[in-house]
Chains A and B, each alone.
Chain A
Amino acid sequence: MKAEDVERLKLKKPFSVSDIIVYAILTLFIFSLFLAFVILPKNTKSDGFKVTINDNQAFVFEYETGKLTVDGNFYDRVFYNETTSTITVYHTADKTSFNVIAFDRQNKKVWMEESTCSHTKDCVYSPAIESDAGMIYCAPHQLKISPISPSGALPPVIG
């Protein structure tokens, strides 16, 4: 960087008139995101949730009936605790790696209660799924919780 460029940079203020163009484009961009993902879509309550691990369906839970359907491959790894309304999924035989999924049948919502994935635990801080939109993903365990829409159709998948 040349000396005059440095001087010019140092003299710059935190706001300039040209910034208006940048901020206007960003405002338009954010507004269009709200329009596409918040304002226009009409979300309804989900009927239950399904959990997939490595893209393989592990189990499905239905709020109305309280029915838990576990896939045969995951039968010895999924444990349902009716009193605490939690489902624990173990990833290793020694049970040191796990995810605890909690749900509220009355309010039809599901969230990640506990995880041993990483110390950031993004999945635990993910907002609860209360409608047929949204998802909770635990990247290190490749565990995905997605809602089951009332029509029975799952949200569209991209990629």
Chain B
Amino acid sequence: MKKSLNTKVSAKKIALCALFSAMALIAFSIESLIPPIVIPGAKIGVSNIFILLATICLGYPYGIIVLIVKVTLGSIFAGNISSIMYSLPAGALALTLEILLLQFAKKVSVVAVSVAGSVINITAQNVVFCLVTKTSAYLCYLPYLALIGVVSGIAVGFAVYLCVKLMPNSAFTLSASTHNKTEE
């Protein structure tokens, strides 16, 4: 009985994770069709909504899975595989920061977590890009990219905030409810 309940829940979690991954991928693909804002690489990052949501609702490992799926498949679909080289490390760094803030700075709001993650993501992406292309010239766009990161972080943060408010509690407490059930 115990085993079947656990399997049921993990299937549910996997389904939700797949849903978030698909939504992130769709958002990423649609956004890649829109020209960048002023500077190349500058985007709102709508797909980050689903990464942060997966991290909050399902747990940190699921956020990482959504990130990997989004970056790898998104880059292939967008026809720019080389972007994996700088999108993946930057995304991982931003997600690590967001996880640390969610874990250890519990009083900090979701919007602030998103802004911090977004700024670090766009900054790291630029730095990794400079290292990969072996040129420091692109660093002159860094301050403007960081500013765009603040704007996109606020937009993403508010979207996540609203989603968290509107989503049913069952979406968050999958593991907790099962744990109680198995104990019973």
Contacts and interface: CB of A to CB of B under 8 A. Distances in A.
A37 B157 contact: no
A125 interface: yes
A38 B108 contact: no
Interface string B24-66: 0000000011011011110000000000000011010000000
Contact of B140 (A37, A140, A159): A37
Nearest to A17: B107
A95 interface: no
Interface residues of B, number: 58
B137 interface: yes
A157 B112 contact: no
Contacts of B112: 15-16, 18-19, 22-23
Contacts of A26: 115-116, 119, 150
B39 A127 contact: yes
* A interface SS class: loop
Contacts of B56: 1, 9
A131 B17 CA distance: 47
Interface in A3-27: 3, 5-10, 12-19, 21-23, 26
Contact of A155 (B136, B141, B173): B136
Nearest to A112: B40
Given A1-B59, A29-B119, A30-B150, A12 B109 contact: yes
A125 B172 contact: no
B176 interface: yes
B135 A135 contact: yes
Given A26-B115, A33-B146, A120 B138 contact: no
A22 B101 CA distance: 10
A157 B150 contact: no
A15 B111 contact: yes
Given A18-B108, A126-B40, A144-B133, 20 more contacts: A1-B176, A2-B176, A13-B109, A18-B105, A22-B105, A22-B108, A30-B150, A37-B142, A117-B80, A120-B36, A122-B40, A134-B137, A134-B138, A135-B138, A137-B138, A140-B79, A155-B137, A158-B131, A159-B131, A159-B134
29 contacts: A1-B57, A2-B176, A6-B169, A6-B173, A9-B172, A12-B109, A14-B109, A14-B161, A18-B105, A18-B107, A22-B115, A33-B143, A34-B143, A37-B139, A37-B140, A41-B140, A120-B32, A120-B80, A121-B35, A122-B36, A123-B40, A125-B40, A127-B39, A134-B140, A137-B138, A139-B82, A144-B135, A155-B135, A158-B130
